């Protein structure tokens, strides 16, 4: 029997282990046509990509450029652009574009055109064909979470309604053509959504691109609890966990430098990759968080007024020190988001296993009985 005192509740952690079946490190397509080595076109491709890499300090995360062919060789003209997602920092954008250029030259070494999507951070492309201000929806790539929603009909209805709302918001987004939204699916689960277009296309073209991506979701992702669609002109994603950093509300006073640095560092870390498939062994790993308080509970000799019996549940045991070490003593830099009963933090065990950790807020009105019901519900998923 474990007694949860007020002081213990300050450190009560509900641990969800996110197992990455596959991270999107980079996806690309190459044009079918090629160019000759040491040709003028190759020189222009290198000049173009160098220009993109040198202009990643744009506040809106977008840049396009053209390197013209010579008068006697107009076919050597190359067009290129990059688009960083609306929530990443300038530093993260710079690194994503720089790494993406190296990757795309390796993947498509002699191709006259290529496009690559990198992590949950940016995408870039170049081509011998003019594509600026044109909406291009192919190639279209789909990725989805392997887990299924309990009620497919109600879940996909919520996904569709939410995505249509942020598609309109992103198309009217002006300086970034980017939007996010979170909605409560039930008492314990939250839906996170994101949409973005390249800044060179019009409002109506952006809305059309995102709407077409939404209409294709039932083909790839019906009933799946997460999905991603990638096209040259727009990007759409939904998940049941916070895969992006939500913007903080504007402060009443001018922001201080340490606060901004912390936010940038947090965003950079969270944007390291897209987790396409997750598995949550809840029965074992949620309950282990209760066990970490046995040592604290044994020191309290008073009779518990309210308790949770976990003695009949077989589970692994993590002590509190292990969990605090994994989250760098529950550092604000590791914060992923805010839930109904507390905050979420990222953690990494010594073996490299990543954790998403929920810390029950001291101000939460959730009692032990409600918490037990929450655990029981999650164990059924």
CATH class of 23-127: alpha beta
CATH number of 141-248+260-275: 3.30.430.20
pLDDT (0 to 100) of residue 363: 64
Band of the pLDDT at 86, cuts 50, 70, 90? very high
Instruction: Classify 238 as helix, strand or coil.
Output: strand
Burial class (CB in 10 A: 0-12, 13-18, 19+), 264: middle
| Residue written as token pair 């940016």 | 122
Report the share of the chain in percent with pLDDT over 90: 51
**Two tokens, residue 147:** 């887990």
- Of 12 and 242, the structure prediction assigns the larger pLDDT to 242
The yes-or-no verdict on residue 332 having pLDDT over 70 is: yes
**Two tokens, residue 58:** 């744009």
**Residue 65: its H or E element:** strand 62-67
pLDDT (0 to 100) of residue 77: 96
Quote the DSSP letter at residue 194: E
Domains 23-127 and 141-248+260-275 share a fold: yes
pLDDT (0 to 100) of residue 337: 72
pLDDT (0 to 100) of residue 75: 85
pLDDT (0 to 100) of residue 331: 83
> What residues does each domain of the chain span?
2-19+280-380, 23-127, 141-248+260-275
| Residue written as token pair 């870039």 | 124
Which residue, among 175, 157, 181, has the nearest Cα to 236 in the 3D structure? 181
| Cα(206)–Cα(200) distance, integer angstroms | 10
The yes-or-no verdict on residue 296 having pLDDT over 50 is: no
The yes-or-no verdict on residue 176 having pLDDT over 50 is: yes
pLDDT digits (tens, 9 = 90+) for 139-154: 999 999 999 999 999 9
Question: Would you give the distance in Å from CA 168 to the centre of its chain?
Answer: 20
Question: Which string of DSSP letters, residue by residue, matches 101-138?
Answer: HHHHHHHSTTBSEEEEEETTTEEEEEESS--TT-----
- The angle subtended at Cα 179 by Cα 15 and Cα 339, nearest 5°, is 25
Q: Which fold has domain 2-19+280-380?
A: Phosphorylase Kinase; domain 1 (3.30.200)
Calculate the average pLDDT of the chain.
76
Average pLDDT over residues 113-130: 95
């Amino acid at each position: 029997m474990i007694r949860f005192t007020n002081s213990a509740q300050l450190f009560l952690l509900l641990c969800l282990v996110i197992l990455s079946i596959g991270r999107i490190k980079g996806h690309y397509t190459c044009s079918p046509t090629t160019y000759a080595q040491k040709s003028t076109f190759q020189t222009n491709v290198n000049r173009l990509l160098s220009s993109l890499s040198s202009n990643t300090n744009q506040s809106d995360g977008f840049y396009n450029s053209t390197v013209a062919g010579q008068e006697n060789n107009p076919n050597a003209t190359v067009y290129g652009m990059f688009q960083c997602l609306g929530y990443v920092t300038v530093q993260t954008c710079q690194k994503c574009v720089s790494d993406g250029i190296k990757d795309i030259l390796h993947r498509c070494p002699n191709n006259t055109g290529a496009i690559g999507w990198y992590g949950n951070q940016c995408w870039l492309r170049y081509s011998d064909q003019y594509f600026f201000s044109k909406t291009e929806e192919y190639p279209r790539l789909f990725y989805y979470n392997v887990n299924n929603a309990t009620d497919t009909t109600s879940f996909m209805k919520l996904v569709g309604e939410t995505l249509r709302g942020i598609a309109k918001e992103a198309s009217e987004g002006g300086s970034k053509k980017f939007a996010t939204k979170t909605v409560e699916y039930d008492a314990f689960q939250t839906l996170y959504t994101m949409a973005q277009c390249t800044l060179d296309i019009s409002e109506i073209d952006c809305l059309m691109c995102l709407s077409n991506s939404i209409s294709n979701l039932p083909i790839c992702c019906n009933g799946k609890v997460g999905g991603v669609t990638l096209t040259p002109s727009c990007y759409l994603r939904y998940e049941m966990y916070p895969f992006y950093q939500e913007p903080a509300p504007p402060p009443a006073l001018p922001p201080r430098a340490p606060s901004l640095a912390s936010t940038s560092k947090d965003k950079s870390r969270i944007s390291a990759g897209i987790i396409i498939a997750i598995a949550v062994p809840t029965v074992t790993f949620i309950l282990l968080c209760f066990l970490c308080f046995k040592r604290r509970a044994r020191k309290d000799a008073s009779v518990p007024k309210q308790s949770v019996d976990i003695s009949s549940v077989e589970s692994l045991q993590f002590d509190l020190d292990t969990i605090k070490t994994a989250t760098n003593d529950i550092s604000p830099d590791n914060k992923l988001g805010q839930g109904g009963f507390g905050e979420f933090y990222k953690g990494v065990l010594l073996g490299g296993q990543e954790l998403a950790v929920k810390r029950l807020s001291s101000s939460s009105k959730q009692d032990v009985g409600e918490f037990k019901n929450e655990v029981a519900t999650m164990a059924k998923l």
